Structure 1
Amino acid sequence: MEVSHPLSERYGKHWTQEEVTAAFAPSDDTVDAVSAWLNSSGGITRERIAQSDNKAWLAFDATVEEAEKLLMTKYFVQQDEEQMMVGCDEYYLPKHLQEHIDYVTPGVKGIHLKRASSDKKSLNRRAASLHARRQTFMPDMTLQQNSSSLDTCDQMITHDCIRALYNIPFPDPNAEVSPNNTMGIFLLSSAYAQEDLDMFFSNFTPYIANGTAPTLNSINGGIAPVDILHAGSEASLDLELAIPLVYPQKTEIYQVDDEYWSSEQWLEGGLFNTFLDAIDGSYCNYEAYGEKGDNPDYDPVYPNERDGGYKGERMCGVYKPTNIISISYMKKEADLPANYQKRQCDEWLKLGLQGVSVFVSSGDSGVGDLPNPSSPNGCLRNGTVFTPAHPNTCPWITSVGATKVYPGNTVYDPESAANDLAGDPYYFPYSSGGGFSNVFSIPEYQASHVAGYFEVEEPPYAYYYDGNYQNSTGLYNRNGRGIPDVSANGDNTAAVYNGDLRLTGGTSASAPIFAAIINLINEERIKAGKGPVGFINPVLYANPGVLNDITNGTNPGCGTEGFAASKGWDPVTGLGTPDYGRMLELFMGLP
């Protein structure tokens, strides 16, 4: 990706949406070959063939008889309690066209069966546990007395602690800011309450007026704000971190999916496709890796006629992506088809080409995942194989792990990898998510750093190659994309939700912190007549000295101690934590 490589003459020359569409479109030879076959074998003339706006697929109306003859198949209809779908068991394509056609629809993927029903209460409990990992009540007076002190940052992380840790200047509330440089936050199944934000501002950032709120981008019926009793921990944490760090810059939220799907999809299905549809209309029907458009086996289907469902059509291309997008949601790679992830990864690449920076929290369970019915310790193959997280492993996003100021240390001491044991008052053990992908290989910008890690630290575990853990005794993929890329503080974070002052944390805190710092840097570049930094990984891996290297800690999981933090990049804290001053100097020196 030349537009993101610091040594490229094309650095910062981001593409337009039209240029991206053209680059990913099939060649004229492909379109001509398929069109000729449709005409010669099926009698489908050029006048009957339409090409999608994103150029990725051809469509035509045909009778059942025409389609069956063309594809040498037999179509049938299958119906469940809610809908009817058309499909076939198999179809045939000429050998010379197989390199041009990913798949045909309706086809073997046409049949959609209803998901297994679930207890909504248990789903909501699990959803809550996957957001802000830890939460404890704190006496109001204690927080108010210490909210601006750096002496207690080992007990409670506030914005003053974050600024001291990462060399961030105090904001000028009266500064003029670019109206086109807002920070975007993805939210699903968690919405904020204005009362919580106001209580947080009053306690911790009194320079921010009560009533300050993000701009709402509602996607497919997403609702925000909500009343204080229904506020979610994730939304509260993300906004209470981001708004003060970028202030007086603005924030936007992408509140995704209606009440039904925001619970069901998050826990049982896919992630992010309806969000990506809404910020890039061409993605709604983008075809790659045998996946065209949203997958009804994993993604929400609209209109949704259920009670409380969004009755409109699926939103496509209705919002412009912000320069920065912070995401504190993830799933196990193993929970989603590889081609589903690859198609989605293409879209993260397209956003990077257009100058968008995407930051995703790396997970809170070290090399594993939270316990679930299929795996008591959240790990693969008999509870032993490490579990990397989607979409972190896509090489076109920036994965953010977590660090901690341990008891007795100060903001002037080096941080360590976040790692807390389970036990009262915490429900699950917590450590910075990290490891190696089973879907994506090591990207070029990261290759020397991963090799360097294995030269310094040889993990005491058997490994495998090419993501093939089913036929191996190894625990991790030696040639997989490594995560995280970077890290930031994610423990003992002060927050307010449901009207209470609390301590919380997780990499859910780390991602918006790092994202906010890049938003501040974008603001300075825009003032200087430059563009946003876009996809930052190649720059950071080429200049690791602008980060604070974290060399202490591990990320346990799957019955092991996980990986160890080490000098340089490591699969616990990545390249390290940000230093705003050093990073600003680096990015301001680039075109």
Structure 2
Amino acid sequence: MQLNSFRIVLLLVFSISIIDYVYSSDFVPAPPLLPRRKYVEHTKPISINPSQWVGKRIDNIQETEIELTIGIKQRNLNTLEKIVWEVSDVKHPNYGKYLNFNQVKSIVEPSEESVRIVSNWLENNGIDNFRLSGSGDFIKGKVNVLKAQDLLKVEYQRFTHEESGRILIRSLDPYSVPWELEDHIDFIGGVNHFPLVARLNKMENIKKELNYVSPYLVRKVMNASIVPAHAANSQAIAQFLEEYFSQSDLDLFQQHYRLDQKAITTIRGPNRETEPGMETALDIQYITAMAPNVSTWIVSTGGLHEGQEPFLDWLVDMSSNPDLPYVHSISYGDDESSIEKAYTDRVDIEFQKYAAMGRTMVFSSGDSGVGCTSSCDSHVPGWPASSRFVLSVGGVDWDGTNMNGDVISGGGFSNYFPRPQYQEDVVSNYLSKKVDKSFEKLFNSSGRAYPDVSSFSESLIIAHRGRLMSIGGTSASAPIIAGLLSNINSKRLSLDQPTIGFVNPLLYKIAKENPESFYDIKTGSNEFHCCKGFKSSDGWDPVTGLGVPNFNVLLDYMTKFDSS
């Protein structure tokens, strides 16, 4: 009798605990899952900021189309990562022995069974206008909303961004697929992902160029000489959400600063020159100012009304291109916590594929400092800056005499990705000597740390709509660094050396052996809202990374290092 009474008491306590949890404010019940179906990314409804996105019912669901992008599971991922580390390690015999597009594709492309099962699923549901990407691992197709809702067991809404007016169609419901597809799909784009609508720090039109940052000032402070371009070299910027390019603005910028004038080599995607974007103006003007005469692409994606999330469009487009430029500058980011890990893991594989082919992906680290939860109890890292396989670029503010860590400079520690070996020493040193243990409760101290390096992020002069003006953000830092890396590629190509590719391991190695290759930024911090930030200090820190490149010293080392 005593034993049975004890069991009853335990059962009552357990039941009360469950009831308390269900009715707590943090509990979000998962929608009932139909038999023999599996959730793919989410198991609970998606949360959005209602002050930013307002959703309304879609009346014409049979006429309204959306595009779905299905990431099919790839193979031999351990092999791919092993190759990346080998070709990026100057001490490994395979350093610089990059693979071509078809070699990478043959290693990781999905099995025929996976492609067949996913294709049959679509066809059996009356969807036949889909296509397999050139990389062989994405399937894209347009369907009407009614069909998509039935296919994924969700309800779509038409969302409007309150500030920008941008419209897209998404669902807040977690989507599911038949259980037999579980081992063949990584994620489905066009359902839950909301793109970040970025804001540049726009300032007044300039009249006197006092205390503003120009290409000349960047070169002077960063000790960056002009490097002759190599005919085989190439670089690119990526633009999203109807950010278009104006050749006349680029001409004005180049004429004003007496820079070499040259038209853009390739514009991939839509462009409306009469509607130029400030982001595009900033990126293209500074990457070409740093690397004049290098063949330059503008990749414009995600500009269509109610189209796919722009970053995914860019990703699929680049993954299917066998002749990518060597250096890519991307001023795009979002809160890591707002993206499911299944999605970020798949994107990480794409970055590894680029690295295996000798390409360099440069991302701005974001303009929200350490980021912060609404409850102020933890940092919110940025992504894709938190990926181990991209170069993350933070920001510095020029006060007329010195460079200081910019308070907006995105920096901290990933909650998704572990700390890579190439930064273990410098990050461990920072944590052990510069961070109070009580502060570590705000972030994941074992995560990938970012940024890696920094550059100017405030008061940069650009030409936009025929006028000179000043804007800021780490969106400025990334193209500056990208252009300088292109110069290093030009020099290396002229010496019959491989391109820098995934450059992070080499940069950290250089910082350790030749610290004068970087200007160490020791002032500044990146607190955000109610969250205490990190402080710049000697060596690497989560505000400015390794510091600002001392370009000519870095160039000399990166073309003469011993790779034996």
Return the match for 1:103 from 176, 183, 188. 183
Whole-Å Cα distance in 2 between the matches of residues 325 and 185 of structure 1?
Answer: 6
Amino acid at match of 1:136: E
Distance 1:484 1:475 in 2: 18
Cα distance change on mapping 1:342 and 1:90 into 2, 3 Å: closer
In the superposition, relative to structure 1, how do residues 113 and 352 fare at CA in structure 2: closer, same or farther (>3 Å)?
closer
* Structure 1 residue 25: Cα displacement: 4.8
Q: What is the TM-score normalised by the length of structure 2?
A: 0.70
Q: Does 1:276 align with 2:356?
A: no
- Counterpart for residue 157 of structure 1: 213
1:409-424 equivalences under 5 Å are 409=401, 413=402, 415-419=403-407
The CA distance in 2 between the partners of 1:55 and 1:494, in whole Å, is 42
Equivalent residue runs for 1:77-92 within 5 Å: 91-92=178-179
Query: 1:114 & 1:538 partners in 2: Cα distance?
Result: 34
Q: Which residue of 2 aligns with 1:548?
A: 519
Q: Contact 1:134–1:506 (CA<8 Å) still a contact in 2?
A: no
SS of corresponding position for 2:293: coil
**1:404-443 paired onto structure 2 within 5 Å:** 404-407=397-400, 409=401, 413=402, 415-419=403-407, 431-443=408-420
Counterpart of 2:240 in structure 1: which amino acid? L
Aligned residue identity for 1:274 = D
Residue equivalent to 1:42: none
Q: Residue 351 of structure 1: SS of its match in structure 2?
A: helix
Structure 1 CA distance for aligned equivalents of residues 396 and 357 of structure 2: 30
Change (3 A) 1:442 1:207: closer
CA offsets per residue over residues 402-435 of structure 1, 9 Å max, x none? 012214x1xxx5x21013xxxxxxxxxxx21101
In 2, Cα distance between the equivalents of 1:353 and 1:5? 12
For 1:322 and 1:208, locate their aligned partners in 2 and report how far apart those are by CA, in whole Å: 21
Find the counterpart in structure 1 of residue 347 from structure 2. Answer: 344
Q: What is the total number of aligned residue pairs between the two structures?
A: 438
For 1:527, the equivalent position in structure 2 comes to: 494
Aligned residue among 279, 282, 297 for 1:237: 282
Q: How far does residue 550 in structure 1 lie from its aligned partner after superposition?
A: 1.3
One-letter amino acid matched to 2:498: G
1:399-548 aligned at under 5 Å gives the runs 399-407=392-400, 409=401, 413=402, 415-419=403-407, 431-459=408-436, 461-463=438-440, 474-544=441-511, 545=515, 546-548=517-519
Which amino acid letter does the alignment assign opposite residue 490 of structure 1? S
Which residue of structure 2 lines up, in the alignment, with residue 581 of structure 1? 552
Letter in 2 for 1:510: S
1:326-369 deviation digits (Å, cap 9, x = unpaired): 0111111122111101100111111011100111000112111x
- 1:192 aligned residue (237, 245, 255): 245
Whole-Å Cα distance in 2 between the matches of residues 111 and 13 of structure 1? Answer: 33
Shift of 1:246: 0.8
User: 2 CA distance for matches of 1:320 and 1:538?
Assistant: 24
Please give the secondary structure, in 1, of the residue aligned with 2:305: helix
Once the two structures are TM-superposed, the CA of residue 57 in structure 1 deviates from its matched residue by: 9.7
Question: Percent of aligned positions with the same letter in both sequences?
Answer: 26
Cα separation, partners in 2 of 1:137 and 1:89, compared to 1, 3 Å: closer
Contact persistence 2:268–2:297 (CA under 8 A): no
1:208 aligns with 2:260: yes
Which range is displaced more, 548-557 or 379-388?
379-388
Distance 2:351 2:113 in 1: 29
Contact 1:326 1:511 in 2 (8 A): yes
- 1:4-19 to structure 2, matched below 5 A, reads 4-19=88-103
Note the C-alpha offset of 1:33.
12
Q: What is the CA deviation profile of residues 85-133 of structure 1, one whole-angstrom value per residue up to 9, with x for unaligned ones? A: 9x9967556xxxxxxx85356x9x78976999xxxxxx9xx94xx2432
Whether the 8 Å CA contact 1:434–1:482 is kept in 2: the answer is yes
* Secondary structure class of the residue paired with 2:202: coil
Pair 1:279–1:111, CA change in 2 (3 A): closer
Change (3 A) 1:321 1:88: closer
- Describe the shift of the 1:330–1:198 C-alpha distance in structure 2 as closer, same or farther (beyond 3 A): same
Query: 2:330 aligned with 1:323, yes or no?
Result: no
1:362 aligns with 2:372: no
1:10/1:560 CA distance change after superposition, 3 Å: same
Find the counterpart in structure 1 of residue 71 from structure 2: none
> Which of 102, 108, 132 is the aligned partner of 1:24?
108
Check 1:490–1:80 CA distance in 2 against 1; reply closer, same or farther (3 A cut): closer
Q: Which runs of 5+ in 1 are unaligned?
A: 36-50, 59-73, 94-100, 117-122, 144-151, 282-316, 369-378, 420-430, 464-473
Amino acid at match of 1:539: L
The answer to whether the 8 Å contact 1:490/1:506 transfers is yes
Q: Residues of 2 paired with 1:404 and 1:34: CA distance? A: 50
- Once the two structures are TM-superposed, the CA of residue 489 in structure 1 deviates from its matched residue by 1.3
Could you tell me the TM-score, scaled by structure 1's length? 0.67
Looking at structure 2, the residues matched to 530 and 478 of structure 1 have their Cα atoms a distance apart, in angstroms, of 37
Give me the whole-angstrom Cα distance separating, in 2, the residues matched to 1:406 and 1:535: 32
Distance 1:202 1:14, change over 3 A: same
Q: Which amino acid aligns with 2:359?
A: V
Question: Which digits, 9 at most, give the CA deviation of each residue in 1:197-222, with x for residues without a partner?
Answer: 22212222x2433xx33233333xx3
1:11–1:500 CA distance, 2 compared to 1 (3 A): same
Counterpart residue identity of residue 529, structure 1: D
Partner of 1:423: none
Measure the CA separation in 2 of the matches of 1:559 and 1:478: 20
C-alpha separation between the residues in 1 aligned to 2:96 and 2:460?
Answer: 34
Cα 1:342/1:159, change in 2 over 3 Å: same
CA 1:56/1:247 → structure 2, altered by over 3 Å: closer, same or farther? closer
Residue 33 to residue 347, structure 1, CA distance change in 2 (3 Å): closer
1:191 positional shift: 1.4
Aligned residue type for 1:487: S
Cα separation, 2, equivalents of 1:76 and 1:404: 47
Point out the more displaced range, 130-139 or 246-255: 130-139
- Structure 1 pair 243/381, CA: closer, same or farther in 2 (3 Å)? same
Query: Which letter does structure 2 place at the counterpart of 1:391?
Result: P
Q: Does the 8 Å contact 2:266/2:296 carry over to 1?
A: no
Report the Cα offset of residue 476 of structure 1. Answer: 1.1
User: Unaligned 5+ residue runs, structure 2?
Assistant: 1-84, 117-131, 140-149, 159-168
CA-to-aligned-CA distance 1:276-300 (integer Å, 9 cap, x gap): 211222xxxxxxxxxxxxxxxxxxx
CA deviation profile, 1:506-559 (whole Å, cap 9, x unmatched): 111110111111100100111111221101100111121222211111111141
Aligned to 1:133: 201
* Cα contact 2:369–2:528 (8 A) shared by 1: yes
* SS of residue in 2 equivalent to 1:260: coil
Counterparts of 2:325 and 2:493, CA distance in 1? 14
The RMSD of aligned alpha carbons is 3.5
Residues 21/203 of structure 1: CA separation in 2 closer, same or farther (3 Å cut)? same
AA aligned to 1:351 is Y
Q: Shift of the alpha carbon at 1:258? A: 2.9
Kindly indicate whether the alpha-carbon contact (under 8 Å) linking 2:153 and 2:176 is maintained by their aligned counterparts in 1: no
459 and 508 in structure 1: CA distance in 2 versus 1, 3 angstrom threshold: farther
Change (3 A) 1:161 1:33: closer
SS at match of 1:259: coil
Distance 1:512 1:532 in 2: 18
Is 1:2 the counterpart of 2:86? The answer is yes
Q: Quick check: 2:302–2:310 contact (8 Å CA) kept in 1?
A: no
Do the aligned partners of residues 343 and 9 (structure 1) sit closer, same or farther apart at CA in structure 2, a change above 3 Å counting? same
